[in-house]
Every structure is written in C-alpha cells, then in structure tokens.
Structure 1
Amino acid sequence: MNKALMQSSSNWRFYLSIFWFLFTFVFIGWWWILGLESAAHHRMIFWEGLVLLPAIFSGGMALMILAARDRRRAENMKIFFSNFAHDLKTAITRVRLQAEVLVEEGSQKNVTRLMNSLQRLDLQLENSLWVARGERQALYFENIKMSQLIVSLRNEWPEVEIQLQKDCVLFADRQALISVFRNLIQNSILHGHASKIEISVFETQEGKAGSIVVLEIRDNGEGLKKDLEVSQLGHELLLASPGRGNGLGLYLVSFLMKRMKGKISFHSENGFLVRMQLPQGRGE
C-alpha cells in the first residue's frame, strides 16, 4: 500500500501546485494592473509588481515541473517494482519445480525446508504484486465453488489438515480469494504453528444486498497474543514478531476482502479465528 499512497500523494501535490500557481498568478496580475492604473501616484506598487510577477511565475513553473517529475518517478517505481516482482516470482516457480523433483528422489528433510522457504517467498512476492497494482488491479467476479478452492490449498499445504464442513458457492475474484486463503493459512502455520484448519459455512439473507455467505476459519494453533489489538492485526504482527513476518499478508487480506465487497474480522478463541462475509454465488 505504500506505493499506492505514494502515487496518491504525488497526484495531490501536482494538482495543488497547479491551483496555487494559477491563483497567485491571477491575484498578483490583478494587483499589478491596479498598480499600473495608479502608477503616477504609487510608483512603488508598480515596481514591486514588476518584480513579484516574474518571481511568482518562475517559482510556480518550477513547482509544477518538480511535482510532475515526482509524479513520473513514483509511476516508474511502481512499474519497476511490479516487473521485478513478476520476474522473481517466475524464477522462484522454476526452483520450486526442481525442488519437487528432488523430493521424489529423496533427501526429504532438507528439501522440505527448501520448499517451505520458497512457498513463503512466493507468497510474499504475490502480496507485493497485489500491493504494487493497488486499486488499478481489475477484479473479475465469478461463481466459485469452495470445495474446488480447498483442493488447490490442500495440494499446496499437504502437511496441514484442511476441513470444509459444508460446500458453498461464492461470488468473488478467484485470484483474490485464493490470495486471501493463502495468507490466512500461512499466518496460522507461521505464527500459530497450526496443523489443522476447519472452515465452517453459514448462509444468511441480507435484504436488498442479496444472499451473504459467512465463513468461519478456525485453527488449532496458538492464536493471537493478548497484547495485540485485533483492529490493527496486520501492523501489530510486524511489531510482535520481527523476522517472522511483516504483517503485509493480513493487511492485504483486509484490502482484498473490501474490494470484493466482503467483510472480515480476526479473533483469538482457542486458536486463530477468522470470520468472513462474501456475496453468495449461483450454484451450477
């Protein structure tokens, strides 16, 4: 989100500089013309205006040029960051495929560590790509069966028991939804040392908004620390667990849920508990 905030700040400064330049230029110009009309009586006003008007003009132009340059720099940084993360993610995918081959051939313990490290790095890069794109990333809503989504998650984390109590259909962006669950599972494993995750499904009706699906994701891990504020969970994890995660994942979860017109809350109840609400899709 820092990239998106940088772009927003750059745009704000650019448009403010244009407005301020035009306002001051018109004001000083009007003041100088008024001085010309009474130049015979107030020559000092005439010469002050003659000096101030070029100064305001040159200063305003310099401010506009600097603001435009800052805006281009921010845009170039976003493009570079996005391309770099994409290329690095591709390289990691290749290494991961090679590691999977090594797993089949032996050396299970060391290669498993390598796979886990690559998995964490892959997820961090995916999160970085989402953050770099920000609001510009278009979402494509479709009907998604929860059971199909769980299959891919089980393949990615075979060491974790993932149980789906009831199937449902969600109306969401597939890649964004996968990213949400990947980050939640990774958080349960990394911070809570969970080995089991249960997903309960409830369907509720909310009038004009249509049908809403409520999901509860609970693990058997350590849960949240007591001194953490749930409302600032993503940021607090950064402060509480240096070296184990930067809090970006859960922040991105909240961001993506909001973009998919959903809601999410985090709780510590006999483990790590997440409550989600998303629009219900149509079954096949």
Structure 2
Amino acid sequence: MTARAKLLRTSTFRLAALYLILFAVSVAALLGYVYLNTAVLLQEQTDYTIQAEVQALSDQYQLRGLSGILDTVQRRSADDTGSVYLLAAPAGQRIAGNLDDLPTVPKEDSSWIEFPLQVQKGAVRENHVARAFYTVLPGGFKLIVGRDVESLRQFATIIRQSILYALAIALVLGLGGGLLMSRNFLRRVDAITDASRSIMAGNMSGRMPVSGSNDELDRLALALNEMLEQIESLMGAMKEVSSNVAHDLKTPLTRIKARVEAALRSGSEAEYRAALENTVDESDRLLDTFNALLSIARAEAGQARSGLVAVDVSELIADVAELYEPMAEEEGGTLTASAAPGLQVQGDRQLLAQALTNLLDNALKYGARDGETPRITLTGTRDDDKVVITVADHGAGIPEADRSRVTERFVRLDESRSKPGNGLGLSLVSGVMKLHKGTLMLEDNAPGLRARLVLPTGRE
C-alpha cells in the first residue's frame, strides 16, 4: 500500500472529511437561505415600488386625463434614477417616456415583464435588464413602469460566486488540514507500530514513543509502556526464579545422589536406611520450596481474589499466637500477642495465616542476638480505614539498604545463610499482601526488625 493510500485510509482523515462535508453542507444551507431571502426581499421591494408608481399614475390619469399622466411621465423620465417609463398610444406608438419603443408585452391587460435594456454609460452603451409592470389604461393607452434591475442581478451573482468560492476554500483548507492531521497521526501510529515490532523481535527494553502532548495517543503509549514494564519485570523475575530454582535445587539433589551412591557402595542395611531417611528429609525440603513458589505465584497472580471473605483478624492473631507460644518457649524466649477487638478484613484466611507464620518463623530464627533469647510481640491495631498487624523482634534486624531486596525470591542475607531456609518466606508475605491490596513494611525496631502488614478493611 502506498503512503498516499495509507494516508487516505486513516480514521483521522475519514473523520476530518466527514466533518468537512457536514460543515460544507451546513454553510451552503445557511448562505443559500440568506441569499434567497435577500434576493426575494430586494425583488419584492422593487415590485412594491413599481406597483406604487403604477397606481399613482393610474390615479392621475383618471383625475387629470392624458395631459396629467403625460406631464408626470415626461418629468420622471428626465431623472436618471434607474426607472423606466413608457406611455404609448393604443396602436403602440411612443407618446412619452425614456424607452424608445414598446417591448414585447403579454396579451393580458396587466402583467410583469422583463426585457433587455441598453443604458448609456459615458461613451459606452451597456446591456442591462429591466423589470416592469405593463398595464392598459382606459382608452387603450399602454403604460409601462419599471426599474433597471441589472445591479440587483449583479448583486445576486456576486453572492452566488461568494458562496461557491467560500465552499471551495473551505474544501481545500479542510482537505489540507485533514491530510496534515492524518499525516501526523499516521506518523505517530507508524512509530508505535515500529516499536511494537521491535519488541516482538525480542527487544524487551523498547518502549512506545511519547510526544509529550498528553493526547489520547500519548495516554495509550503510556499505558502500553506501563504494561511492557510489568511484562519485562515479570519475565526478569521468571528468569531469576528459574536460575535460582536450578541453583538451589542442584545442591540438595547432589547430596541425595551422593548419599544414595555411598549407601549402595557400603552394602550396609543401616546405611540404606540412613540414606532413605535423609532422602525423605531432603525431599520434604524440596516440596516445601515448590509449595512456597506455587503459593507466591497464585498470590501474585490474584487468582484467588474473587474468593475473599470477611476474616476476623483478632481471632486469627489469637490462633497463630496460641500455636507459636510453645515454640517460642522451647527456644527460651517469649511471644506476646494482643489485638484490638473486632478487626476485620476481606481476605483469604489461610494465606493471611501463612504470611503471619512466615514472619513468626523468621522472628524465631533471627529475632535474638547472640547469647539472648527471642522476644517477639504480635499485635493487631486499627489505623483509620486500615488494619495493621505487626510482628516485632529484638534481633539483628535488616539493614535499610537490604529491606526492599529481601522480599525477592531466594534472597538470603549473609547473616542468615547458616540457618535453614530457602529465601521464600518474605516473598510469600509480599505476594499475599499484593493479593489483598495491602503493604508489607519492614522497619527498624531499635534493636531488631518490625514487620507491619497494612491491610484495607474492604469496606466501601
């Protein structure tokens, strides 16, 4: 398809052409209405003036006879006012007036007539048109009274030409403007198309061009860029997860293989049993990793959002605290829980419980400094239209520079590598908050870490 054909087929050009046609029709109708009314009004005024003169002359003829009308016609014919007069005998001979001879007249006794008229303009005789009223007076005398209407005809011609010129100019400018707008629109669409093809070819860093005019194309480009950034982020996360999964699974699988081979070489039943027990333990840890990844994926995808129900957060905190208090006591520490009554959110109780248990697991692992026992507090409060669940400890905490990074999959700080885990706990908490349109906030507890889950109540 040629560039001109593409230009003419754009929606912008079609829309501009449609508006142009509607505008031209509207202007033509308006100007035509004005023209017709003006022409009719001028002709009616001319006819009314002629009829008034005919009536006046007829009255004079009846009152004063032929001499009276003859005097009036001669006097008025001498004035150069554009009026035409002719008084003729019954046989048609001219008696008085500024017409040389009797024009072609109808058979009726009175009627409107139009006839050519020659007017002397200096040394030149011009051909004009006269409009007159023809009547037969008592006694058979013929009277013609009219006006030179050439100026009215020229005025009407000028108006018609002006309308045509105006429409022609409007069409030219409209088509030119439509082509210019279409060209600009097509250029921007082609730029977006080129960017799309570049992205489809594998350049995921490419973005839709934005002109800065903040029009509908800019808003579309910005929305597409946001979508592309999200896609790029998800693809990057998928690549990272794939790499991390491969890396984190390689070590336990290698251990399983080494233990099984060692047991086979030993030939001892006890070695077989120990290898199988270790294999079961490693398999459980692998299954925990995969289950955590699946839970994160479901939470971040928001697939379960349609099934959210009212959850009593106060009751949830009490149940989780009851489960973890003995575990804290086994570590020689304490877990203190408190919640304001009547705290409710729209959510998935199982996922919220999983997020709380992950935070408490981290607090038990890392919530105590060397030589100390863990002291953990679990609270639930209301903050305006939000419900805030807080898990705080008195351990080493997380440096501020690392707090945004620890919610990524398989991220483990150097201080935590000696403890069991797969680096997915806070990732799952972050995914659960995304599903519930909430926020995970990691803050300094001075000393220790304070993790806050800020959840909307879900009420309108």
Output the TM-score relative to the length of structure 2.
0.32
- Largest Rg, 1 or 2: 2
Structure number with higher helix proportion: 1
Output the TM-score relative to the length of structure 1.
0.49
Higher relative contact order (CA 8 A, sep 6+): 1
